Structure 1
Amino acid sequence: MANKRYGHAEDPPNDRRTLLLTVVLLIILSVTMLLVMRGQLQKHYSVHTISGTSMIPTLTEEDQVLVKKKSQVQRYDIVAFSIDKEEGMFVKRVIGLPGDSMFVRNERMVLDIGEQGDFETTNTYQLSPTVADEFQTLNKIPEDVYFVVGDHVDVSKDSRTFGFVHRKSIEGTVQFRFPAIHLARLGD
């Protein structure tokens, strides 16, 4: 009988207000949830755009990478880190871990990456004179530092030129790559 009072063509005014209030509350709740989720994601993850060619072929110029913050670093992980007196973030591959055996002769570092510490599995790197002097007296990679190298070793600025990367300088490990989309220009 209530519908006859308002007619069939329109809803009662209270139903409209209830619907409007429900929609407004859902919007407010959705926005709040998105802000909370965004804050949690930013707390645990970051995104960086690759600049340069030092990680080719794994990462290319303008790729974006998702970095998981405060994750455990393992050999061959790709990490994002900062270096004192250098601008921006670096993204390189971890080759040497704390405690790995090593020695330096004539500005060349021999790094033992084997499990036994017997130099059966090694990598050799040409170091800058400054880094070679810094590493000269070491026989192991010190605690809380890592030796990192770019995949494109011929052009990479990495531990061979700036030394070890401190654990506290590592933002996290790369978890995912978003490839850059290069659109072909018409008429070229």
Structure 2
Amino acid sequence: MSKIMSVIKNNSGFILFLFALFIVRGSIFDWHPVPTGSMKPTILEGDVIVESKIAYDLKLPFSDTTLMRLNEPERGDIIVFSSEKSGKRLIKRLIGLPGDKVQVTNDQIIINGKMATYQKLPMDDPRIPAVAPDRDNGFYALESMPDMDEHLIIIDDTKYNPSRDTVAIVVPEDHYFFMGDNRDNSADSRTYGTAPRSELLGRAFGIMISIKWLEDYTPRWKRFFSSLYL
């Protein structure tokens, strides 16, 4: 017992740091490596994104038990959620809010009868990540709505995608409709349906580090500590 107490005493600073990190990651901030390209070009394979776990709800640390609602999700938020229907943790953009009538036509969203605004970009546009055009087909565009800030999406019109067109649905109360920015390479609410608020884990807001996951694992220095929003 004396040896254990001695170890604790000699390493008290480090133990306190680990305890604080445990509490922070359990209830305030978390980070996740992203292995897929469903949110390209906003999030690339190999990005490690950071989320605020108290953006919407205060939850019991390391649980799905909500103690208090803090804020309401907004259209355009990039949200981390635990999807029961897919059996995975997903990172997608919030498109449809509770009560919205949502339809997708040729990869373009229509909310309550109003289509989002789209601006096709040239491949040398500085807002497109330099690493993105090398492997992606189709074209890049800026998507926006009056209540949704503009963001980049990819539309791959070179391949068949059964989710490119959907029937109109009304988002149920306390549910949300999500889509990936890589419109033709994303399994989202077009596949799994809407997600209940209880599955929301937090709002992703930045990239902590980034490596070339599919290539040589070298760092993408320019993406370190960058924002996910334009």
What TM-score do the two structures reach when normalised by structure 2? Answer: 0.54
User: After superposition, where does 1:152-171 map in structure 2 within 5 Å?
Assistant: 152-171=182-201
Amino acid at match of 2:177: F
User: After superposition, where does 1:29-178 map in structure 2 within 5 Å?
Assistant: 29-44=12-27, 45-72=29-56, 73-100=73-100, 102=101, 110-112=110-112, 119=113, 121-123=114-116, 126-127=165-166, 132=167, 135=169, 138=170, 141-178=171-208
Whole-angstrom distance in 1 between the partners of 2:43 and 2:8:
44
1:156 Cα offset (Å) = 1.0
Whole-angstrom distance in 2 between the partners of 1:105 and 1:68:
29
Whole-angstrom distance in 1 between the partners of 2:200 and 2:26:
15
Whole-angstrom distance in 2 between the partners of 1:176 and 1:111:
27
Q: Contact between 2:86 and 2:192, CA under 8 Å: does it hold in 1?
A: no
Q: Contact between 1:126 and 1:160, CA under 8 Å: does it hold in 2?
A: no
Whole-angstrom distance in 2 between the partners of 1:174 and 1:65:
7
Question: How many residue pairs are counted as aligned between the two chains?
Answer: 146
More helix by share: 1
Q: For 1:125-171, what per-residue CA distance to the aligned partner results, in whole angstroms no more than 9, with x for missing partners?
A: 622xxxx49x3xx4xx2221111110010111111111111111111
Other-structure match for 1:115: none
Amino acid at match of 2:24: L
- What SS class does the counterpart of residue 15 from structure 2 fall into? helix
Whole-angstrom distance in 1 between the partners of 2:24 and 2:104:
46
Whole-angstrom distance in 2 between the partners of 1:105 and 1:150:
13
Q: Contact between 2:53 and 2:201, CA under 8 Å: does it hold in 1?
A: yes
- What SS class does the counterpart of residue 52 from structure 2 fall into? strand
Sequence identity, in percent?
29
- What SS class does the counterpart of residue 30 from structure 2 fall into? strand
Please identify the structure whose Cα radius of gyration is greater. 1
1:85 Cα offset (Å) = 4.0
Other-structure match for 1:15: none
More strand by share: 2
Whole-angstrom distance in 2 between the partners of 1:96 and 1:41:
30
Q: For 1:66-88, what per-residue CA distance to the aligned partner results, in whole angstroms no more than 9, with x for missing partners?
A: 12114222111101112224233
Structure 1 unaligned regions, length at least 5: 1-23, 113-118
- What SS class does the counterpart of residue 67 from structure 1 fall into? strand
Structure 2 unaligned regions, length at least 5: 1-6, 57-72, 118-163, 218-230
